[in-house]
A and B are shown apart, each in its own frame.
Chain A
């Protein structure tokens, strides 16, 4: 978008929306400036820092497991037709199933603690990572694999030296979306399973209608998620030339 010949930055229209927010149509959306003031107020309190620590732990353990399990499973699905036909319907179902309905099952199986929250986070993130890793592997040029085999690569060699290297654009894309989904997952887990971390803060602020505080916390979470997502998108662009070469 250009104005008077100047290129406007991508997210600059948010300023316009902030002005709309100042008109106060609804108490749900306090102006951004007020949110930031509140953000600075509460960000140093121990309640906030504690919530941050708890949520961060659940979030990173959850997404880490999703990545560590999801990528190899996806790669194996892309390699083996049998495994693919066995697993793909389930992966597709879980990708689109209403996962919140499964949270009560987790509570029964794993109790009301951190474990269930972490598993909820993993469940939100893992399926798209599996699917994208699978898609990445399936797009690998056949001749690349034949080349490796002609030079005597073992299946293990092929896995670590070809598949894992050739699929990064799609895998990174999956991880990026997985991260974004995990943010929702960790909050839903904290709201439903046990009221801890940022979930507890949301609960506290919303039951007292402290909208500025509520949005301040939401902004923090958005900022974290956005930073990670942008970082991964940056990595994705750096390996984009892969796609052209295949």
Chain B
């Protein structure tokens, strides 16, 4: 059962990394969406990161930093950040002008308007970005396990394939996918809980 414990540990790591990245990504995206200057300075980097196949970097990163937390953070970061950041900034920029104006008319402060209008309005698209980002993070993490390290669930898959123990291999793969899907479901629940009734259509349409 040491394999199982190992696996669980590795995945907990990925998840905590994901949540750190998530808040960082949303923060950067928000800043890009709100500030022209920041947009000019930072968003090209994320555009490049999203388009270039940075998955190629993963084996190298793991080789240099080992399978520790550092490489996990970097892997999840380069895979998950671009889509989270770009989705957030796009959604923030596309907040319907009339509800922002409404906020001004009813004397909202800058902070009020960001917290009570812009972020809730952008939340469906931010969460869509999170789903994609989380899955990209998983893709990167599994790639590193399959490719390099003799740890985690990737190793179980590689090993059981090499000895043609397909039931174990399928079980391992299914467990990963189930884990990812459960994680994404929790995310969807959170979204529903936080922004109940928020349909993706706007009342002003």
Could you list which residues of chain A lie within 8 angstroms of chain B, going by C-beta atoms? 1, 8, 10-14, 16-17, 93, 95-105, 107-108, 180, 183-184, 186-188, 191-192, 198-199, 202-203, 206-207, 214, 217-219, 221-222, 225-226, 229
Contacts and interface: CB of A to CB of B under 8 A. Distances in A.
Interface stretch (B90-98, B102-110, B141-149): B141-149
29 contacts: A10-B44, A13-B40, A93-B181, A96-B135, A98-B138, A98-B180, A100-B143, A103-B146, A104-B146, A104-B161, A104-B169, A108-B161, A183-B52, A184-B53, A187-B55, A187-B56, A191-B59, A192-B147, A198-B56, A206-B56, A207-B63, A214-B56, A217-B56, A218-B53, A221-B53, A221-B56, A225-B52, A226-B48, A229-B51
Contacts of B166: 108
Given A98-B138, A104-B158, A222-B48, A1 B146 contact: no
A187 B128 CA distance: 25
Interface string B44-81: 11011011111111011001000000000000000000
B184 interface: yes
Contacts of A184: 53-55, 139
Interface stretch (B23-31, B117-125, B170-178): B170-178
Contact of B143 (A105, A108, A192): A192
B7 interface: no
Contacts of B143: 100, 188, 191-192
A101 B53 contact: no
B134 interface: yes
A96 B51 contact: no
A198 B52 CA distance: 13
B114 interface: no
B84 interface: no
Contacts of A186: 53
By secondary structure, the A interface counts as helix
Contacts, number: 130
A218 B57 CA distance: 9
B111 interface: no
A16 B41 CA distance: 8
Interface of B: 36-37, 39-42, 44-45, 47-48, 50-57, 59-60, 63, 131-132, 134-135, 138-143, 146-147, 153, 157-158, 161, 166, 169-170, 173, 176-177, 180-181, 184
A12 B158 CA distance: 44
B51 A107 contact: no
Contacts of A219: 52
A96 B132 contact: yes
Contacts of A214: 56, 60
Given A188-B55, A191-B56, A100 B50 contact: no
Contacts of B132: 95-96
A101 B52 contact: no
Contacts of B157: 101, 104
A180 to B, nearest CB: 6
A34 B59 CA distance: 23
Contact of A192 (B146, B153, B180): B146
Contacts of A187: 53, 55-56
Contacts of B180: 96-98
A98 B48 contact: no
Nearest to A180: B51
Most chain B CB within 10 A, of A183, A184, A225, is at: A184
A100 B41 contact: no
Contacts of A218: 52-54, 56-57
Contacts of A12: 40
Contacts of B44: 10-11, 13-14, 17
A191 B147 contact: yes
A167 to B, nearest CB: 17
Contacts of B63: 206-207
B41 A183 contact: no
